[in-house]
Amino acid sequence: MDSILNWLNENSGLILHYGIQAVIALVIFLLGGRIAKFCAKLTEKAFDKKKVDKAVSSFVSSIVYAIVFAATILMALSQIGIETTSFIAILGAAGLAVGLALQGSLSNFASGVLIILLRPFKSGDYVEAGGKAGTIKKIEIFSTEMRTPDNKVIVMPNSKIMSDAIINYSREATRRVDIVIGVGYDADLRKAKEVLKSVLDNESRILKDPA
């Protein structure tokens, strides 16, 4: 018992030092966990405000939580004297390996985030993208689903959509449509124009202004 007390007396400064470090590390860990949850909820609210699909917002917010929490753990370990450089190097190497293995998927993910943030189109819009045209049915983090006029469903990688021009036919309230109507060589052109004008005048979807 005396030997234990003597050891405690001799090393009281060291014990106090590491005790304080451990308490600080615990505070960092607990506070970091709360900050990670706050950042995740903030991200999810931001996506919900933009009316992004719930599955997508949950997925992105979970990634934000994991990144912030991982940084918190490294800070807490560093506070108690554990060398974190090797951990960071291992995580970096693992991240590089995974990134190379999932290069296509990560490209689709990044493009999906851009689509969500920039909003070049939304569900229900009729667009031409990636060499295809159709109505957007669902926007997901890796792919976008559209339905063609002949009722075919196309699931297109987001990277293909963002790598080319996007034509959104539904963005503006009005749109001009050019239609070529053929008539016979012996037809009365004046009569044909009158018939077409009558049809257009009686069509409620045709705007008078702009003509």
User: 3-class DSSP state for residue 60?
Assistant: helix
Q: Could you tell me if residue 24 is inside a domain?
A: yes
Domain edge (last residue) among 50, 66, 101: 101
What pLDDT does residue 11 have?
Answer: 57
Q: In this predicted structure, what is the pLDDT of residue 10? A: 60
Instruction: List residues bridging with 128 in a β-sheet.
Output: 133, 167
Question: What pLDDT is attached to residue 5?
Answer: 58
- What pLDDT score was predicted for residue 150? 93
The reply to whether 15 falls in a domain is: yes
pLDDT of residue 35: 92
Judge whether 51 lies within some domain: yes
- Axis crossing angle, helix 103-118 with helix 85-101, rounded to the nearest 10: 90
Q: What φ, ψ does residue 84 adopt, rounded to 5°? A: -100, -5
- 151: domain CATH number is 2.30.30.60
In a domain, 193, yes or no: no
Q: Is residue 22 part of a domain?
A: yes
| pLDDT for position 2 | 57
One domain, residues 72 and 152: no
Q: How far is CA 133 from the centre of its chain?
A: 22
Those residues whose C-beta lies under 8 Å from the C-beta of residue 60, and which sit 6 or more positions away, are: 43, 44, 47, 113, 141
In a domain, 73, yes or no: yes
Mean pLDDT by 10 residues, the chain (211 residues): 59 66 86 91 84 70 85 83 72 67 72 84 91 90 90 93 92 84 87 88 80 54
What is the residue range of 139's domain?
Answer: 121-168
Domain count for the chain, please give it.
2
Vertex 93, ends 162 and 39: CA angle to 5°? Answer: 60
Query: pLDDT at position 8, please?
Result: 55
